[in-house]
Chain A
């Protein structure tokens, strides 16, 4: 059974701090990794994707991938109250033969003013 694990939180950080969200996955063959943001009552919104080991930066967001450790993280710099949401980690399932993703249950982030 393919698994994607995230700490459910809530992770509480003050405004302006760096928020660090973590995710581990079980399928060593996974090649595509995604972070989605989901506000309460809304649908998931793609914010980052990463395919190669290392870091990928996009504005205040940095995704980090370590395939050897089967670990992917999302850093949010200069956190804002508007970043308060649940963050879902998703990983592709290559052995299924289809373009399916396995989602973690999400980490709730709370940014206090």
Chain B
């Protein structure tokens, strides 16, 4: 089974802090994704990566950056956290280039105070 592990299940940070969310997958997948999910807005893609050191902006990249130094690890960075970044953050991974299924981690519920 695919295992996608997110470093924290719940996280509370303060406005202006730099926040790191970590994600690790164990299936040698090329593709990794960061989403946020908010009530009524569904899943929105923040950033994705299709290879080590490669990254692409999703639909809502503003206020976020990412890092992929190793194939199995994809980090989401909130450079200066704001209250409107309070959300559920979901990491996913997949293989290939033809729309294979994505497998999700358990999610990180992030609160910015």
Contact = CB atoms under 8 A, between A and B. Distances in A.
Contacts of A34: 101-102
A42 to B, nearest CB: 7
Q: How many interface residues does chain A have, given as a range? A: 20 to 34
A49 B100 CA distance: 9
Q: Is the interface of A mostly helix, strand, loop or mixed?
A: loop
Nearest to A32: B99
Interface string B77-113: 0000000000000100010111111111111000000
Interface string A8-48: 00000000000000000000001110100000001111100
Interface centre among A31, A92, A104 (most CB of B within 10 A): A92
Question: At the interface, is chain B mostly helix, strand, loop or mixed?
Answer: loop
A106 B38 CA distance: 12
B106 A99 contact: no
A74 interface: no
Given A100-B45, A103-B42, A44 B101 contact: no
Interface of A: 30-32, 34, 42-46, 49, 88, 90, 92-94, 98-101, 103-106
28 contacts: A30-B99, A32-B99, A32-B100, A32-B101, A34-B102, A42-B107, A43-B105, A43-B107, A44-B104, A46-B103, A49-B101, A92-B98, A93-B99, A94-B98, A94-B99, A98-B50, A98-B56, A98-B97, A99-B98, A99-B99, A100-B33, A100-B45, A100-B58, A101-B99, A103-B43, A104-B42, A105-B40, A105-B42
